[in-house]
Chain A
Amino acid sequence: MLYNIFIDPFVQMVQMPDLLVQTLWEGLVSGVLYALIALGFVLIFKASGVFNFAQGIMVVFSALTLVGFYEKFSAAGFSGHTAAFVALILTAGVMFVLAMLVERVVLRPLVNQPDIILFMATFGITYVLIGLGEMVFGGDPKQMIASELFLPSGSVDVEMLGGLVSFQKIDIAAAVIASAMIVGLALFFQKTRIGRALRAVADSHKAALSVGISLNQIWVIVWFAAGLVALVTGIMWGARSDVSFALEIVALKALPVLVLGGLTSVPGAIVGGLIIGIGEKLGEFYWGPLLGGGIESWFAYAIALLFLLYRPQGLFGDKIIERI
């Protein structure tokens, strides 16, 4: 038993290094994708203190909108790359309208309420988006328009370490786009005027207000940014499986990532995503068979729990200081 837990998996790793590389790669890719979802959460949490339960459904909704627009175009005899990118821009527009609506209808009247109330309000948003999305687009799973968006398909097979390691081009693209997105967001936060305003709001609402930063405007921007992140996430996950309401479940995986990295930290979301992604793939692949497999559903939470016991505010979270 001890042998199976402590030695055998490592023996396997050494004996079949190609599979180890493949596992690490799969973990990396899903980690990046988890990080993308978590990023959406973090953006909103930082700027408005809202734990946005609706992020998962925003992923589904944006992907459905994109595919829906494209279907409308191709029905009108207008398809191909141009149509896809027009659809992409229109979807971004929809996400912007959504951000404005959320700010106007939900956030503004609820300003200064306890966290848990705002959390609850995002559940209301979730319900509305589910109803709206299913009513407009129907419940059928749809194909993501990957090739129209210049996303590659197929795989690159590399012979190494005595075996074949295959890298899916879509996964490589996902990793690249996600990294670009993260770098872009970081630059946006650090270098632009709005970015600085965002950081000011994150530090203190009152101080930000007193220097003339409009909270309402910032919230619209943040929700829009989270909507864009959701759109990218939706495209990537959609290309990997398909676009349906089942994707909403995947978004739950972002929760352990989030707490592991710390609710307020962008780098935390990324590092957390990678740890969870790689950790759960390694866990499932090498240790899962000991428990009959399928442990992935809770393994991520167990990892997050262990880290939390060590650091209750997450790896990169702001230190929780309590005063009387």
Chain B
Amino acid sequence: MSLKNWLYALSATAALTLPAVHDAQAEDSIYVPLFTYRTGPFAGSGTPIANGMHDYLTLLNERDGGIGGVKLIVEECETGYDTKKGLECYESVKPKKPVIVNPWSTGITLPLIPKAAVDKIPVLSMAYGLSASAKGDTFPWIFNPPATYWDGFTQILQYIATQEGGGVEKLKGKKIGYIYLDASFGREPLPLIEQLSKELGFEAKLYPVAAADMQNQSSQWLSVRRDKPDYMILYGWGALNATAVKEAVKTNYPMEKFISIWWPSEDDAKGAGDGAKGFKTLNWHAVGADFPLLADIQKHVVDAGKSQVSGKDKVGQVLYNRGIYNSMLIAEAIRKAQEITGNKVVTGEDVRRGLEGLNIDDARLKEIGLEGFTSAVKLSCADHNGHFSTFVQSWNGTTYEKVSDYIAPLSDKVGPLLDADAKAYAEKNAPWPARSEACDAS
């Protein structure tokens, strides 16, 4: 009997978890899974990103009938920002032959990095994940445009320098505070900070915030009061951002000197009230819905009830547009792949080539309906990141406004670190496969 029970249980499990025969395997469609997190403690950031990604791809289906005449099968898999669930999602979408995956969590990206080459599924970890994966020669299957966290840090430093009225040499003697999530994401810039503080002569003050204490930062901000740094840099995520802004307002820290990496949303600043005006973050794309493409999304997707956005005002928010940008990269990579191979239905291998040949110039942006939305994107076989310029935007109480020009990263400082890291990664994970994928000259 025990056997019988066991077999029943087993067959039931197998039957239920075996992915049902799905349209995805049909010949005339492209399967694009989206790993999203609309649940859990980070849902506040995850939901707008998920909506943006989903709505853009849905628009292509609704308005253009897919890409190049091929329908996209867009399917969300809920990760809850949890590595284990994310891997489960990966395994469950794998049999359906996805052409690309977006883990949307550094924790999920890391285990996928070695798998990507074996499973032939490119990984797009947009401005998160492993910075070193910018090196296409070592990581042919991983893409992390448009900038790494190191690039972002040097961009913030340069912005600070221009505020001081000059180049990076103006940083000399300044005191710069760095408040960060005490996990791999926030700790990543630490070696860079150490090096740059020596080279440029500024003093760095570190304020780590443990993940469990994200909403409880008063001691860090007390230390800020004691140390009185000239500028504060924030690398946070989820509730950490909102709390940091509130605490900064509480301690009367001058907001115009408080600059964050690109992850804070409107909600993070709004909670702190008027005091948060002047809070700054990096960004590489526009905020707001004044683009033909977003108008189309409003018409074909949101008004048609095919979106999950909770209100019209959500379209065009920072993280929504971040999702749009992510999906634009996916769509353009698929289009490029179709162009390179001449096939309508492309595979993961094709899309990898499409990503390497990705070249979205201003003309193309205009065609898409996103003129002026972001700067041109061009990737290559060697450079899977692009290290594109970003700009600084400032919170005015209702939305973010662009307040600086595009700032290029200090590639001469970041480049060697990146090379060293990619090399170290390959060595530590020896035998790391050498790149065998040919490069399409573009």
A interface residues (Cβ-Cβ under 8 A, vs B): 16, 19, 22-23, 26, 29-30, 134, 138-141, 143, 153, 155, 166, 168, 237, 240-242, 244-250, 252-253, 280-281, 284-285, 288-289, 292-294, 296-297
Contacts and interface: CB of A to CB of B under 8 A. Distances in A.
Contacts of A134: 39, 43
Contacts of A289: 223
A22 B239 CA distance: 24
A139 B206 contact: no
A22 B219 contact: no
A281 B210 contact: no
Contact of B216 (A30, A139, A248): A30
B310 interface: yes
B270 A246 contact: no
A81 B246 CA distance: 23
Interface in B279-318: 310
A244 B182 CA distance: 20
Interface string B165-202: 00000000000000000100000000000000000000
Interface of B: 38-44, 46-47, 182, 206-216, 218-220, 222-223, 225-226, 238-239, 242-243, 246, 250-252, 267, 270-271, 273, 310
A140 B209 CA distance: 22
Contact of B239 (A241, A280, A292): A241
Nearest to A155: B250
A242 B251 CA distance: 18
Given A19-B226, A245-B43, A293-B207, A141 B212 contact: no
Contacts of B210: 294, 296-297
- Residue among B41, B210, B243, B252 with most chain A CB within 10 A: B41
A282 to B, nearest CB: 9
A33 to B, nearest CB: 9
B264 to A, nearest CB: 12
A288 B212 CA distance: 16
Nearest to A288: B219
A281 B218 contact: yes
Contacts of B242: 141, 241-242
Contacts of A280: 219
24 contacts: A16-B226, A22-B222, A22-B225, A23-B219, A29-B218, A30-B216, A138-B310, A139-B44, A140-B43, A141-B239, A240-B246, A241-B271, A245-B40, A246-B238, A246-B239, A247-B215, A249-B212, A253-B216, A285-B219, A285-B223, A288-B219, A292-B206, A293-B220, A294-B210
A233 B347 CA distance: 52
B38 to A, nearest CB: 6
B41 A246 contact: yes
A252 B212 contact: yes
B225 to A, nearest CB: 7
B208 A293 contact: yes
A246 B212 CA distance: 9
B278 to A, nearest CB: 17
Contacts of A245: 40-41, 43
A122 to B, nearest CB: 20
A111 B223 CA distance: 50
A246 B37 CA distance: 14
Report whether over half of chain A's contact residues are helix, strand or loop; otherwise say mixed: helix
Given A138-B310, A166-B250, A248 B41 contact: yes
Contacts of A138: 38, 43, 47, 310
A143 B239 CA distance: 12
B46 A244 contact: no
B156 to A, nearest CB: 20
Q: Give the 9 A-B CB pairs with smallest separation, nearest first.
A: A139-B43, A294-B208, A297-B210, A284-B219, A246-B41, A246-B239, A141-B44, A26-B218, A241-B243
Nearest to A249: B212
Contacts of A293: 206-208, 220, 223
Contacts of A285: 219, 222-223, 226
A155 B310 CA distance: 34
B85 to A, nearest CB: 14
Contacts of B220: 284, 293
Contacts of B46: 139
B41 A244 contact: yes
A247 B216 CA distance: 10
- Residue among B46, B219, B273 with most chain A CB within 10 A: B219
A245 B225 CA distance: 29
Given A23-B222, A140-B44, 10 more contacts: A16-B226, A23-B219, A140-B43, A140-B47, A141-B267, A241-B215, A241-B271, A242-B267, A284-B219, A292-B208
Contacts of A30: 216, 218
A241 B182 CA distance: 19
A75 to B, nearest CB: 10
Contacts of B225: 19, 22
B11 to A, nearest CB: 27
Nearest to B43: A139
A272 B206 CA distance: 30
A19 B267 contact: no
B227 to A, nearest CB: 10
A294 B182 contact: yes
Contacts of A237: 215
A281 B217 CA distance: 10
Contacts of B271: 141, 143, 241-242
A16 B225 CA distance: 11
A296 B216 contact: yes
B246 A281 contact: no
B44 A244 contact: yes
Contacts of B41: 244-246, 248-249
A216 to B, nearest CB: 34
A168 B218 CA distance: 12
A247 B215 CA distance: 7
Contacts of B267: 140-141, 143, 242
